[in-house]
């Protein structure tokens, strides 16, 4: 009897919770460097993805970061003001830059 | 050397470096040394973790000794962060609409009971797999070579569903959308469009992977399976199929997953190709799963090099292995038991007779005679797509 019950459970349900209660995806803190402008990134860059995306790019020229933030604004419609954009690019170049302008 | 001579040569050398960085774009081996994270994601073992929101998980090299990738080590790639965390299996449907005679709302029960059930073993590989091979870095996640896997998929044929809905005469494009949503209402949704002519009998809507339910992170409860194609169109949590006569301009179709539309599919950072095309089918590729970078192996020991090879379904003919910097190549033994869309396993016996560093290289050749090239000969492209260079692992013979 027990066996039969087990089989039906396996057939109807899935192994896990996503069918009966929400599944939980762990939160990972991808920390970025604490420096001038970090608050502006905190406010503008976490809406759509984690900082993992930023750290993963490695050290890059200023133009790279400028274009990246532009991509977020034009293609993905990130609501970022001109002033914030400058603060963000300055921050990224200073902390995740390779010293080259382009 | 005189001091002045030294200056001269170093100027020339740095000009060469600058030149290659700024104008040409170079290709090298991808980064394969990233560590798995300490935190495992739901239904997964710990993997290389690029992001939690949306989840981006890469498999470590060591899993590519096997022809089937375990579900709990299968890579994960989502574009948009708002992924439903709960699925009601009774009310879940795929809606088929647009240029059809009869709109359908197919439930999971109907899918499993009212249609012929089919299986296909196929490789799923991100178009940007191995992207870290390109300099300067192209947009996107800097994957090593673990954004791929091979599984046995079970589900129903897309064509059976489309036939039941009945395509109208002018039907030409099929759009696929899943339940994942952007976090911001203005960000474009991730929708894929394929031409009807691209969709053959092998395309299925799968609910099982390796005889288990799809893992949540791999698209539970349903995803599209397009054998031979890069994974950008294997839509996860598939919910809508829309048939149209005209191509609908979409950001992720028009800008993402495209490559230079020329013979070499290459371009340079300074001279980007004007015309681009979707990445579509996969190029021939192989990966060494064992040994791994910097491993120590004993002199005169019997080392078995193992890995996997695949292409777009043309089929792997040979995998050649070199242990002398590519001067000579020997044929590896192949195991092909899961059909032409799957990983071919290869193994190669190697007895290291010289002490020191040895480079082990693997090169796959498909049935049309198309062979992998060295990394440096793969043209750079702005999206960092389709890298398929000869794999190289360096070991120390002690």
- Read off the pLDDT of each residue in B284-293 and give the average, rounded to a whole number: 98
**pLDDT by residue (tens digit) across A50-100?**
999 999 998 999 999 999 999 999 999 999 999 999 999 999 999 999 999
Q: Is residue A39 part of a domain?
A: yes
Q: Is residue A12 part of a domain?
A: no
- Read off the pLDDT of each residue in B43-69 and give the average, rounded to a whole number: 97
Q: Is residue A11 part of a domain?
A: no
Rounded CA separation B2/A3 (Å): 86
CATH of the domain at A48: 1.10.760.10
ipTM, two decimals, is 0.86
Q: Is residue A41 part of a domain?
A: yes
Q: Is residue A87 part of a domain?
A: yes
Whole-number pLDDT of residue B255: 76
Using alpha carbons, select from B381, B384, B374, B362 the residue that is nearest to residue B64: B362
Interface of B with A (CB under 8 A): 37, 39-43, 49-56, 80-81, 83, 85-89, 136-137, 139, 141-142, 182-184, 186-188, 212-213, 216-217, 220-221, 251, 255
pLDDT of B189 > 90? The answer is no
Residue in B216, B236, B237 to test binding to A, most A beta-carbons within 10 Å: B216
Note the helical H segments in B36-189.
Answer: 108-113, 158-165
pLDDT of A2 > 50? The answer is no
Which chain A residue shows the shortest CA-CA distance from B108? A12
Is A75 touching B (CB cutoff 8 A)?
A: yes
* Greater model confidence, B23 or A50: A50
* Interface contact flag, B220 A49, Cβ < 8 Å: no
- Sign (positive/negative) of CA torsion B164, B165, B166, B172? negative
* Greater model confidence, B153 or B17: B153
| Residue A73: domain span | 28-96
Whole-number pLDDT of residue B2: 41
Q: Is residue A8 part of a domain?
A: no
Note the helical H segments in B56-210.
Answer: 108-113, 158-165
Please give the tally of structural domains in chain A: 1
Q: Is residue A20 part of a domain?
A: no
Is A27 touching B (CB cutoff 8 A)?
A: yes
- Read off the pLDDT of each residue in B232-238 and give the average, rounded to a whole number: 95
DSSP-assigned beta bridge partners for residue B142 = none
pLDDT of B359 > 70? The answer is yes
**For chain B, counts of helices (H) and of strands (E):** 4, 26
**pLDDT by residue (tens digit) across B156-167?**
999 999 999 999
Confidence of residue A16 (pLDDT cuts 50, 70, 90): low
Q: Is residue A53 part of a domain?
A: yes
């Amino acid at each position: 009897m027990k066996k039969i019950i087990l089989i039906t459970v396996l057939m109807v349900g899935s192994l896990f919770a996503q069918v009966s209660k929400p599944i939980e995806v762990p939160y990972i803190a991808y920390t970025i460097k604490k420096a001038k402008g970090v608050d502006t990134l905190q406010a503008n860059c976490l809406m759509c993805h984690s900082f993992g995306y930023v750290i993963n790019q490695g050290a890059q020229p200023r133009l790279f970061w400028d274009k990246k933030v532009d991509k977020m604004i034009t293609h993905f419609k990130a609501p970022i003001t001109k002033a914030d954009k400058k603060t963000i690019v300055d921050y990224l170049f200073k902390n995740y830059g390779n010293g080259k302008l382009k | 050397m005189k001091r002045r001579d030294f200056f001269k040569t170093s100027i020339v050398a740095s000009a060469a470096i600058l030149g290659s960085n700024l104008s040409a774009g170079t290709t090298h081996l991808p980064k394969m040394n990233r560590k798995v994270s300490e935190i495992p994601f739901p239904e997964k073992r710990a993997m290389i973790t690029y992001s939690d929101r949306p989840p981006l998980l890469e498999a470590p090299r060591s899993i590519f000794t096997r022809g089937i990738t375990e579900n709990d080590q299968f890579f994960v790639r989502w574009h948009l962060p708002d992924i439903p965390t709960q699925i009601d299996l009774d009310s879940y449907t795929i809606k088929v609409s647009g240029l059809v005679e009869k709109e359908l709302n197919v439930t999971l029960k109907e899918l499993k009971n009212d249609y012929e059930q089919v299986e296909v073993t196929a490789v799923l590989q991100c178009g940007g797999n191995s992207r870290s091979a390109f300099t300067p870095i192209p947009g996107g996640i800097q994957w090593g070579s673990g954004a791929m896997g091979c599984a046995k998929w079970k589900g129903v044929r897309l064509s059976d569903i489309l036939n039941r809905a009945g395509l109208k005469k002018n039907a030409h494009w099929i759009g696929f959308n899943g339940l994942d949503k952007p976090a911001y209402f203005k960000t474009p949704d991730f929708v894929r469009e394929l031409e009807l002519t691209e969709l053959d009998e092998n395309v299925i809507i799968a609910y099982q992977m390796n005889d288990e339910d799809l893992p949540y992170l791999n698209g539970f409860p349903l995803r599209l399976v397009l054998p031979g194609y890069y994974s950008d169109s294997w839509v996860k949590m598939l919910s809508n199929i829309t048939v149209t006569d005209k191509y609908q301009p979409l950001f992720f179709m028009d800008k993402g997953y495209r490559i230079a539309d020329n013979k070499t599919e290459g371009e340079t950072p300074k001279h980007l190709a004007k015309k681009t095309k979707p990445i579509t089918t996969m190029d021939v590729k192989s990966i060494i799963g064992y040994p791994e970078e910097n491993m120590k192996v004993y002199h005169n020991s019997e080392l078995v090099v193992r890995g996997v090879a695949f292409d777009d379904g043309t089929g792997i003919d040979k995998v050649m292995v070199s242990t002398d910097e590519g001067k000579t190549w020997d044929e590896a033994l192949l195991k092909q038991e899961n059909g032409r869309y799957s990983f071919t396993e290869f193994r190669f016996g190697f007895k290291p007779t010289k002490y020191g560093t040895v480079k082990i290289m693997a090169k796959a050749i498909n049935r049309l005679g198309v062979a992998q090239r060295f990394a440096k000969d793969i043209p750079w492209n702005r999206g960092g797509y389709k890298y398929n260079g000869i794999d190289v692992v360096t070991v120390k013979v002690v």
